[in-house]
Chains A and B, each alone.
Chain A
Amino acid sequence: MDAMVETKGLGKTFVRKDSTPIHAVKGVSFSIHRGEIFSLLGPNGAGKTTTISMISGLIEPSEGDAYIGGYSIRQQPRQAKQLIGVVPQEIALYPELTARQNLWFFGRMYSLRGKELRMRMDEVIEFMDLEERQHDRIDTFSGGMKRRVNIGVGLLNRPQLVYMDEPTAGVDPQNRRRILDTVFRLRDEYQMTVLYTTHLMEEAEELSDRIGIIDYGEIIALGTQAELTERIGAEDRLVIEVKRPSDEETLLDALRAHPQASKVAYQVDDLKDGDRRGGNTVMPAEEAVLTVYCQNGRKLLAEVLNIIAQQVEISSIEVRQPDLEAVFLHLTGRALRD
Chain B
Amino acid sequence: MEKILTIAWKELYTVSTDRVLLLFMLGTPLAISLIIGLAFGSSGGELTIGVISVAIVNLDQGGVEGNLGETVASILLSQPIARSNEATCQLSSESAPAETRPLSDFLNAKRLDDPELARAGVDEGIYAAAVIIPADFTSKVNPPRDPSLLEQTQLEKTQVEVYGSGASAISATIVRSITETVIQPFVTASAAIRGTVQTIFANPLNAIEFLNADESAFAGFACAYNPNLGNISLERQALDKVQARSAFERILVRFGSAQAVFFSLFTAWTGVQSVYRDRKTWVLQRLLSSPTSRWSILAGKLLGVQWVIVLQILLLLVFLSIIASVSNGAFTFLWGNNWLALVMLLLSVSLAVSGVGVFVVGLARTPEQATLLGTMVSMGLALLGGAFGFRLGEFSKLSLIFWGVDGFESLSSGDTAIELNLLVLLIQGLILFSVGSWLFNRRVQV
Residues of A within 8 A of B (CB): 53, 56-59, 77-78, 81-82, 84, 86, 88-97, 105-106, 108-111, 113, 153, 157
Q: For A96, what are the chain B residues with a Cβ–Cβ distance below 8 Å?
A: 14, 17-18
The residue from A53, A81, A89, A90 contacting B290, defined by CB atoms under 8 A apart: A81
CB pair B3–A109 under 8 Å, yes or no, is yes
Q: For A90, what are the chain B residues with a Cβ–Cβ distance below 8 Å?
A: 281-282
Chain B residues numbered 4-19 whose CB sits less than 8 Å from any CB in chain A: 6, 10, 13-14, 17-18
CB pair B289–A81 under 8 Å, yes or no, is yes
For the complex, what is the distance from the CA of A110 to the CA of B291, rounded to whole Å?
6
CB pair A58–B289 under 8 Å, yes or no, is yes
CB pair A113–B282 under 8 Å, yes or no, is no
For the complex, what is the distance from the CA of A56 to the CA of B14, rounded to whole Å?
28
Q: For A109, what are the chain B residues with a Cβ–Cβ distance below 8 Å?
A: 3, 6, 287, 290-292
Produce 1/0 per residue, B198-219, CB < 8 A to A.
0000000000000000000000
CB pair A106–B291 under 8 Å, yes or no, is no
The residue from A59, A89, A94, A108 contacting B14, defined by CB atoms under 8 A apart: A94
Least CB distance from A32 to B in Å reads 17
CB pair A59–B446 under 8 Å, yes or no, is yes
Chain B residues numbered 365-422 whose CB sits less than 8 Å from any CB in chain A: none
For the complex, what is the distance from the CA of A89 to the CA of B280, rounded to whole Å?
12
For the complex, what is the distance from the CA of A153 to the CA of B286, rounded to whole Å?
10
Q: For B427, what are the chain A residues with a Cβ–Cβ distance below 8 Å?
A: none
B328 within 8 A of A: no
Produce 1/0 per residue, B271-299, CB < 8 A to A.
00000000001110111111110000000
Q: For B3, what are the chain A residues with a Cβ–Cβ distance below 8 Å?
A: 108-109, 111
The residue from A58, A108, A111, A113 contacting B288, defined by CB atoms under 8 A apart: A58
For the complex, what is the distance from the CA of A106 to the CA of B282, rounded to whole Å?
13
29 A-B contacts (beta carbon < 8 Å)? A58-B288, A58-B289, A58-B446, A59-B446, A77-B291, A78-B291, A82-B291, A84-B289, A86-B289, A88-B285, A88-B286, A91-B281, A91-B282, A92-B281, A92-B285, A92-B286, A93-B281, A93-B283, A94-B10, A94-B14, A94-B283, A96-B18, A97-B10, A105-B10, A106-B290, A109-B3, A109-B6, A109-B291, A153-B286
Q: For A106, what are the chain B residues with a Cβ–Cβ distance below 8 Å?
A: 286, 290
CB pair A58–B285 under 8 Å, yes or no, is yes
B2 within 8 A of A: yes
For the complex, what is the distance from the CA of A77 to the CA of B289, rounded to whole Å?
9
CB pair A105–B281 under 8 Å, yes or no, is no
Q: For B287, what are the chain A residues with a Cβ–Cβ distance below 8 Å?
A: 109
A111-B2 contact in complex given A91-B281, A105-B10, C-beta closer than 8 Å? yes
Chain B residues numbered 344-370 whose CB sits less than 8 Å from any CB in chain A: none
Least CB distance from B281 to A in Å reads 6
A92-B6 contact in complex given A58-B288, A109-B290, C-beta closer than 8 Å? no
For the complex, what is the distance from the CA of A164 to the CA of B287, rounded to whole Å?
16
Q: For A77, what are the chain B residues with a Cβ–Cβ distance below 8 Å?
A: 291
Least CB distance from A148 to B in Å reads 16
CB pair B446–A81 under 8 Å, yes or no, is no
CB pair A97–B286 under 8 Å, yes or no, is no
Q: For B291, what are the chain A residues with a Cβ–Cβ distance below 8 Å?
A: 77-78, 81-82, 109-111
CB pair B2–A88 under 8 Å, yes or no, is no
Least CB distance from B369 to A in Å reads 14
